[in-house]
Amino acid sequence: MIDLNKFCGKDGGVCSPFNIDTPFIDNGHKYATNGYAIIRMKSDEPNTDGRLIPKDLNSFFENAFEKIGFNIDHIVDSAASIKCGVCDGTGEDRNACPQCNGTGTCICECYDEHSCGLCDGSGKSGDDAIKCTNCDGSGEIKIWNHVGIHGQKYSEEYLSLCKSDLPGFEIVGMTGDLLKFQFDGGEGVLLKIA
């Protein structure tokens, strides 16, 4: 099963008014997006309610895409790594509350945001260490490059993630700022980088 959460937005990512930190359902598709990549798979589940999600993502897939040939074997993870400055390379954040990950707030089942009960909204914890959210617990931050495809630049980070986590991943076309791809069970688009 594909973990669509890897393709969702995270705190500190794209500035978005939408709640894109988990997948959502809209008009027969399950979507995951971080603002740069949009992944979708067919779904019989009901539409997501109770949170602000992007609408009309279907329009990204209806564009007329020019078919291109691109060998995905050219996509290699060539990112350099540096020590995470938040956790000093340990991969642990000893100051953040493990319940709210240092935000001071939690979202309950009714999708309302409340002050965290464990840290009383301070976001701070005692000696309990949690995984550093800046480096995802690795202790390192990757410095990614870009991949040039037919004169446009695309994120090596997202292309590498697609290649490694989406079975049958292949690039099938492009138009304007969008690179279209498909994989076993779904499709997606990637926006070019400036």
Residue 126: the pLDDT is 63
60 and 14 within one domain: yes
Residue 77: the pLDDT is 63
Q: What is the pTM of this model?
A: 0.66
In a domain, 101, yes or no: yes
Residue 27: the pLDDT is 86
List, as one string, the DSSP characters of 1-69: ---GGGGS--TTSS--SS--SS-EEETTEEEEE-SSEEEEEE--SPPP-SS-----THHHHHS-PEE--
106 and 63 within one domain: no
**Spatial separation of the C-alpha atoms in residues 189 and 168, rounded to whole Å:** 15
Buried b (16+ CB within 10 A) or exposed e, 54-80: beebeebeeeebeeeebeeeebeeeee
Residue 12: the pLDDT is 43
In a domain, 9, yes or no: yes
In a domain, 159, yes or no: no
Mean residue pLDDT of the chain comes to: 80
In a domain, 115, yes or no: yes
In a domain, 79, yes or no: no
In a domain, 10, yes or no: yes
102 and 47 within one domain: no
**Spatial separation of the C-alpha atoms in residues 46 and 161, rounded to whole Å:** 28
Structural domain boundaries enclosing 103: 90-140
In a domain, 150, yes or no: no
Residue 165 parent element (H or E): helix 156-165
133 and 181 within one domain: no
Residue 187: the pLDDT is 93
Total domains, the chain: 2
**Spatial separation of the C-alpha atoms in residues 84 and 185, rounded to whole Å:** 35
CB 37 within 8 A of CB 6: no
Residue 71: the pLDDT is 65
Q: What is the pLDDT of residues 104-147, one digit of tens each?
A: 887 765 667 778 877 878 777 766 667 787 788 888 888 877 88
Tokens for 106?
């939690």
59 and 14 within one domain: yes
- Positions in the chain short of pLDDT 70: 11-17, 64, 69-79, 94, 108-111, 126-129
In a domain, 148, yes or no: no
Residue 167: the pLDDT is 95
